[in-house]
Chain A
C-alpha cells in the first residue's frame, strides 16, 4: 500500500519523458542528416552558379578581347557585376599573355594576373568542360574558365571568385531555418505526446483514487472509468472486487449477528433450566445439560407443586437453532402455567399438545416426558408423548428396568389425536431407587468412528454402576462415559439428563420442629425452623385457620384501606397505641404490596390472605374488658401472637435479607429496598416458606428489633 508520505512517480510523467526523449533523438538524427544533405545541395548550387558566372563572363569577353580597348568595355561590365552580386569577391579577365584586361579596379588593368595562393582543386561540384577549373582556399571559391574564339583559338581566361564567407552565411541561414523548424516540431511533438498520454493515462489517477477509497472503507462509490483500454478492464475488476468485498463484509456482519443471537438464545435456554437440585423428604432431583455447539431444543425442568408433590419434565424439540429454543421457551411458560391445574401428567401433555399445536410448524413436534412424584408415598405418576423410555434403577435387585409408553409426540398430529395415545402410568419408588430421563443426545451419541451409538445397554450399565451414589454421581458418570465414547469432539446434539433418586437411608423427619401453638411470647426455640420445612408452615397455616382472624386481598386491593379496616375491626389489634398501630400498618402494607406487585403482578383475580393469631391462653376469645385486661395490654398481646401471610404468587428470596447500609450515600440515593427494611425492623421474627403445599407462607412476630444485626440473629 502506498502511504501518504511516500513519493509517487506518475506513469504519465515517466511515459511522457520517454516519449519526449525518443522524439528529440529522432528529430536530432533526422535534422543532422537533413542538414548535411542541404549543405551539400546548397554548396553544389553555389558552385554551379559560380561556374555559370565565369562562363558568362568568358562568353562576353571572347568578343571584347579582340577589340582595341577591351578594358574599356570589361571594366564597367565587371564593376557592375560585382556591385550586383556582392558574394563575388572579384572577377578578372586575363588575356593569353597573362595580362589583366578586365577588372573592377582600373589600376589593376594591364598588370599581370597573379593567382591567389593556397588554391586546391575542388573534387566534387558540377561537371566542367575542358580547361575549366574549380578551386578553393580558405577565403574563396575560385572558378576559372577559358575564353575561346569561335574558331577554337584560345584568347585568355576568366577567373571569378566567390567568398566562402558568403557560402557559409547562406549555409548558416539554411541551417538556422532548419533548426527552427526542428525545434518547433520537437515542441509540438512533446506537447502532443504529453497531451495524448495525459488523456490516455488519466484513468490511472481515477483508479488510484478509487482504490484509496476502497482501502478507506468506502465500498459504495464505484470507480468510474469509461475506457476501452486495459485500464477500463482494470476499473471493472476493481469495482467487482469492491462489490465482492462489500458482500463478504455484509456476510460477515450477518454471521456475527447470528452468532450473537445464538449466544443470546443459549443464555435464555440456560436461564430457564433449573440451576439447583430439589431436596424434598427422601427425594433428590437433579438435572444437567451439556449443550451442543449449536443451540438446541432440549428442555428439562422440575419444581415443587402447590400440594407438595414434585413435577418434572424432559422434552426434546425437533429442530435446532433459534426456532427450537423459542419452542422450548414456550414449553417452559406453558408448563408453568398448567402445572398446578392439570389433573394428571397425561392431561397436562394433552393440554400442551393443544396449545403447542397452534404454534408449531407442520413437521415440527416435541417429544416430552412428564412425571409427578408424591414425596410422601414415593408414587410416581408419569406419561410420555413419544419421548425416550424411562430407566428405573431398583436398589433391592440392583437391576435396571425400562419403562416404555405409547404416546405420540406433541404437535405431531393436530386435532387432539394425542389424547387416545397418552396414558398415566404409575410406579412406586422404594428407598435407593433412581429414575433416569434423558434426551437422545445421550442414547444416540456416536462413538468417534461414527459406527455405533451409545445405546440402551451402556445406559443401563452406567445407571446401575452410578445410581447407588446419588444423582450427581449418575450425571457425572454419564457425562464421563459419553466423553470417552465420543472421543470428546464437538457435540452434535444437546445431552440432557435428569435423575430422581430416593435416599435409601433417609428417616422421615417429624412434621413439627417446634410446638406450633407456642406463639411468639415464649422464649425463642433453640432451633429456628428450617425455611424449607414446609410441614411447619402448613401446620402454622392450619392453626391460623383454627384460631386466627384473617383478611383476604387480591392483586389489586387497596392494601392500606383494607389493612386499616381489618386492624380496626380485629380484637387486640384495634386497641394498639397509635405508634404501634402505624408501624404494624406500615409493615403489613409492605408485605402485602410486595405480594401484590412481585408475586401477583397486580392480577385482580388472585387472592392472598393475612392472618393474625393471638397467643393461646385462658383469655382467648374473651370479649369482656376484664378478661382482656387480665391477658395484658394490647401491646403485650400483640407481641405474644403472630401474623401469617399466605399467597400463591411467584416466590421471592426474603430470607436472604441482609440489611441496608444507610451510611452509604449511593444506598440512600437509590432509595430502594426500604420495604424489607421496614418489615425486618418492625418484626422480631420472620420466617419465609416459599412454595409449600399451601403456597408461599410468611410467618412473623411483631416486636421491633432495633437493628438488622439483631434481626438476623433472631431469624
Chain B
C-alpha cells in the first residue's frame, strides 16, 4: 500500500539519511519526531528524504518544524531532500520555506552537509 507509513534509515558518513514514505499524519508524526530526535542525540546530521510522503497533515508539518528547531539549537543540521508535492504544497501554503532547509535531492542535501 503506497500510503502506509514507514521510515528507512541509512548511514552516510557523518549523516543519517531517513527515507520517509506514506502518510505523515497525527499517528505517524510522533514516530518521525522520535527517530529524528534519536539521530540528534547520537550527534549526527540528518537528511529527511520526503519524496515518498503521500500526504502531510498539520501534525506531520508540526513534527518537521519542531525537529528543525531541535537541530537548530545544536551543532548538527537537518536537511529535507526532494519533498513530494503533497509536502511542498503545505510548506508553501504556510510560507515555512525560510525555516526548513530544502534540497532537490538526497545527493544535494548530503553534499550541503559535506558528506
- Please give the residue numbers on chain A whose beta carbons come within 8 Å of chain B beta carbons, in ascending order: 560, 578-579, 582-583, 585-586, 589-590, 593, 597, 662, 665, 668-672, 674-675, 677-678, 681-682, 704
Contact = CB atoms under 8 A, between A and B. Distances in A.
A681 B69 contact: no
Contacts of B90: 582-583, 586, 678
B79 interface: no
B55 interface: yes
A678 B94 CA distance: 7
Contacts, number: 72
29 contacts: A582-B85, A582-B89, A582-B90, A583-B90, A583-B93, A585-B55, A586-B89, A586-B90, A586-B93, A589-B57, A590-B57, A590-B58, A593-B26, A593-B57, A597-B26, A662-B95, A662-B96, A665-B69, A668-B65, A668-B99, A670-B62, A671-B62, A671-B66, A672-B62, A675-B58, A675-B59, A677-B94, A681-B94, A682-B93
Given A586-B57, A665-B72, A668-B99, A681 B93 contact: yes
A434 B69 CA distance: 58
A652 to B, nearest CB: 15
Interface residues of B, number: 28
A69 B56 CA distance: 161
Interface of B: 3, 23, 25-26, 55-59, 61-66, 68-70, 72, 85-86, 89-90, 93-96, 99
A597 B26 CA distance: 11
B85 A678 contact: no
A593 B93 CA distance: 19
B66 A674 contact: no
Given A583-B93, A665-B72, A670 B61 contact: no
B57, B59, B95 — which one has the most chain A CB atoms within 10 A of its CB?
B57
Contacts of B56: 586
A672 B64 CA distance: 11
Nearest to B93: A681
Given A662-B94, A677-B94, A704-B93, 16 more contacts: A560-B25, A582-B89, A586-B56, A586-B89, A586-B93, A589-B55, A593-B26, A662-B95, A662-B99, A668-B65, A668-B99, A670-B66, A674-B58, A675-B58, A678-B58, A678-B94
A578 B85 contact: yes
Given A560-B23, A589-B57, A669-B69, A674 B89 contact: no
A579, A668, A670, A671 — which one has the most chain B CB atoms within 10 A of its CB?
A671
A671 B63 CA distance: 6
A7 B102 CA distance: 77
A579 B85 contact: yes
Contacts of B26: 593, 597
A590 B94 CA distance: 14
A589, A590, A674 — which one has the most chain B CB atoms within 10 A of its CB?
A674
Contacts of B69: 665, 668-669
A603 B6 CA distance: 27
B86 A674 contact: no
B78 to A, nearest CB: 13
Nearest to B67: A671
B44 to A, nearest CB: 20
Given A590-B58, A671-B62, A678 B96 contact: no
Nearest to B64: A671
Contacts of A579: 85, 89
Given A662-B96, A665-B69, A668-B99, A674 B62 contact: yes
Complex A-B, nearest 8 residue pairs according to Cβ-Cβ distance, in ascending order? A671-B62, A674-B58, A675-B58, A671-B66, A669-B69, A671-B65, A668-B65, A582-B89
A678 B93 contact: yes
A662 B25 CA distance: 20
B79 to A, nearest CB: 16
